[in-house]
Amino acid sequence: MSDPDEDDCVEATELEHAAEWRLRKVDADPTDTRSAAAAAQLQKLATELRGLTDTPLFVEYRCMCNWLGESDGLSELVLRREDFRTMLGFGVWADSGEGYIRALIEMAKETLGTG
């Protein structure tokens, strides 16, 4: 797993922490195949996300986060991101890092009241 001090991609670090949480659930119950699959997907998304930080899509997302930060809406988005990560593999899915960022952008738009 990555050290957050070496990595400016908070979202990827959050995904890795969620993957670790899912793996602890698998350690507690080795038959929990859904958590195992979700952990693998969360780690895959984290890896892909790190490769997207310089893309226009990620820049758009960061701009929205900055706007939300100025309007005190960022904490709502952070909670929504947490709920989304928790549900990955359990009724919610993101196939790629790009798809994950697109979902976060939609959440940001809804938080801003523009989605």
11-50 tens-digit pLDDT: 999 999 999 999 999 999 999 999 999 999 999 999 999 9
User: If you average pLDDT over every residue of the chain, what do you get?
Assistant: 89
Token pair of 112 as six digits: 């801003």
User: Model confidence at 113, in pLDDT bands (50, 70, 90)?
Assistant: confident
Q: What is the DSSP letter of 30?
A: T
Question: What is the identity of the amino acid at 96?
Answer: S
Cα(80)–Cα(16) distance, rounded to whole angstroms? 17
Mean pLDDT calculated for residue range 76-100: 90
Answer whether residue 6 shows pLDDT above 60: no
